[in-house]
Amino acid sequence: MSPCRYWSERDDISYKLRVTSTRVYLYIVYLYTCVPVYMCTCTPVYVSRKETTMSKLPTQREETLGGYIVHGVPFPIGSEPEALEFLKQMSPIQIEQEYKITYLHSYGQDSPWFAALTNKRLLASRDSQSGYTYANPRGHDMYSGAETKWVDITNVPARVHAFTVCYFGSEEFLPETPFVLALIEFEGVNTLLLTRLMGVDPDAPSLDWIGMEVKPRFLRNSKLKPTDVYFVPKES
Asked if residue 114 and residue 222 are part of one domain, the reply reads yes
Mean pLDDT across the stretch 92-117? 87
Beta pairing partners, 126: 133, 149
- DSSP characters over 59-107: -SPPP-S---EE------SS--HHHHHGGGGPPPP-EE-----------
Sign, Cα dihedral of 201, 207, 210, 212:
negative
Asked if residue 130 and residue 16 are part of one domain, the reply reads no
Asked if residue 115 and residue 16 are part of one domain, the reply reads no
The verdict on residue 145 lying in a domain is yes
In this structure, of 13-17, 62-66, 112-116, the range with the lowest mean pLDDT score is 13-17
Query: Residue 132 belongs to what domain range?
Result: 108-233
Identify the CA nearest to 136 among candidates 128, 148, 145, 146. 148
Do you know the residue count of the chain?
236
Asked if residue 202 and residue 132 are part of one domain, the reply reads yes
Of the chain, the percentage scoring pLDDT greater than 70 comes to: 72
Residue type, position 129, single letter: Q
Write the pLDDT tens digit of every residue in 42-59.
Answer: 445 454 555 555 567 777
Asked if residue 229 and residue 156 are part of one domain, the reply reads yes
Asked if residue 223 and residue 115 are part of one domain, the reply reads yes
Mean pLDDT across the stretch 144-168? 96
Residue type, position 150, single letter: W
Return the pLDDT at 77.
77
The verdict on residue 87 lying in a domain is no
Identify the CA nearest to 184 among candidates 145, 115, 233, 118. 233
Whole-model pTM: value is: 0.59
The verdict on residue 79 lying in a domain is no
The verdict on residue 38 lying in a domain is yes
- Tell which wins on pLDDT, 195 or 54: 195
In this structure, of 86-100, 147-161, 185-199, the range with the lowest mean pLDDT score is 86-100
The verdict on residue 84 lying in a domain is no
Three-class secondary structure of residue 153 per DSSP: coil
Measured distance CA(161)–CA(4) in Å, rounded: 114
Mean pLDDT across the stretch 133-147? 95
What is the number of structural domains in the chain?
2
Identify the CA nearest to 148 among candidates 102, 113, 107. 113
Return the pLDDT at 111.
94
